[in-house]
Amino acid sequence: LHLLGGNLMALLLARGTLAAARCWRGDQAVLRRSRVMKQVVPVSALRPLASSVAAYSLDLDPPADPATPRHDWTRSEIDAIFNQPFSELLHQASAVHRQAFDPQEVQRCTLLSIKTGGCTEDCKYCSQSVRYKTHVKPTPTLKLNEVLEAARRAKAVGSTRFCMGAAWREMGRKKKAFAEILEMVREVRKLDMEVCCTLGMLNEVQAMQLKEAGLTAYNHNLDTSPEFYPKVITTRSYEDRLQTIENVRNAGISVCCGGILGLGESENDRVGLLHTLATLPEHPESVPINALVSVDGTPLGAESAPEPVTALDMTRMIATARLVMPRTMIRLSAGRLDFTEAEQALMFFAGANSVFSGDQLLTTPNPSDDKDQALFDKLGLQGKPAFKEAVNVRHERLQAPAPGPIRITHVRRQ
């Protein structure tokens, strides 16, 4: 190594920025972070680094490029990312997150159950299924004025996305109910808020009608991996869910699709869920990561629930999602009451940039608006404005030309 007496690369290695660096390949350098992370960059891109040691505190080359997200991940690649040392995973995810998003911005969303209970599905975690005896009782669909009042309250406390959920297997032939929902979407959109719905399965025509009404996003979670899914739900297939996602995407509506940790799945199943999401034709606009909230009366109630999800479980999932889907909003969703403020801060650092606010998340408890505001104040976070997309941020020093050759021959970790 002959570059500033070796000080530059020593500093980069000390920060964990590069696991190894190898040159030459003509006029290109091969930067390798791990067994699966490799990127070839022009040697000219390294030249600005020689101008100022002060710049070395930032990443030389992140493991994922937010400007050009990949859709061809292999499951083994995602598994290697997921299972690397926690500190390295966290470092990489934070670096990528800062390239696509303002790390101090976290979107606050509000989720309202507009039709509660009475669902015919057999999802083992759900309190709204008619198959289980839980504290939830079926209620009729809320009226338009009730929904608008809730939306105005949500906006007043800082929410910029308003989500409406109905406990249905599918919209089917619910023409009257669907017409009411379309009117809700139109009116909430007039409040200058992002509008999201989760109504079960949709066909192509229904998706187009929601788009025309002004719907921003549609939530339809996959819940877990294709392999583990039949152990959780039998009344709707994985393919059914993927078809609804395709219908929504084809209508030009943003897809919100994620999963739940703590259903009894293995880490391999968590990797499988991320692989499915990261290899869709378009990455979901947002990915909710939920921790199971056990509800008495369901097959996954408190007495029979699997091992509880830890903060490290959640953070590892969030960080991996950030790396394989760098321009996607990662929504820290159900189960936040089980995590301390410090643990939630770790999740934000790993790439989570959205939360659901309000003391009720459909039928389960959630941190209140006041508690979330206090957390934001402690961490120096601010709300993300509505309709603000990820940005294309490439480090200026990787593009700025500079005279003079730099040749890195090899680096050996001591």
- How far is residue 32's CA from residue 21's CA, in Å, rounded to a whole number? 6
Residue 109 appears among annotated catalytic residues: no
**Per the structure block, which two tokens stand in for 85?**
């040392």
Cα(314)–Cα(331) distance, rounded to whole angstroms? 11
163 annotated active-site: yes
Nearest to 123 by CA among 274, 287, 292: 292
**Of 33, 108, 109, 123, which residue is the catalytic one?**
123
Active site residue 197: no
d(CA 355, CA 154) in angstroms, rounded, equals 13
Among residues 109, 126, 197, 257, the one annotated as catalytic is: 126
Question: Is residue 152 flagged as an active site residue?
Answer: no
**What does the alpha-carbon distance between residue 26 and residue 42 come to, in Å, rounded to a whole number?**
9
Which of 196, 241, 249, 257 is flagged as catalytic? 196
Q: How far apart are CA 156 and CA 193, in angstroms?
A: 11
The answer to whether 47 touches 406, Cβ cutoff 8 Å, is: yes
Amino acid type, 347: M
* Sheet strands (E) in 187-317: 194-198, 217-219, 254-256, 259-261, 286-291
Out of 23, 109, 163, 257, which one is annotated catalytic? 163
Give the HSE-up count for residue 291: Cα atoms under 13 Å, Cβ half-sphere.
23
Give the tokens for residue 240: 């059914």
Judge contact between 369 and 357, C-beta under 8 A. yes
Q: Which of 47, 256, 257, 316 is catalytic?
A: 256
Report d(CA 321, CA 338) in Å as an integer. 21
DSSP state of 184: H
- How many CB atoms neighbour CB 387 within 10 A? 11
Torsion of CA 335, 341, 344, 349, to 10 degrees: 170
Report CA dihedral (259, 264, 266, 270) to the nearest 10 degrees: 0
Residue 405: CB atoms within 10 A of its CB come to: 8
E strands along 235-361, which residues? 254-256, 259-261, 286-291, 329-332, 354-357, 360-361
Q: In whole angstroms, how far apart are CA 227 and each of 94, 245, 261, 370, 397?
A: 30, 19, 15, 40, 44
Residues noted as catalytic: 119, 123, 126, 163, 196, 256, 331
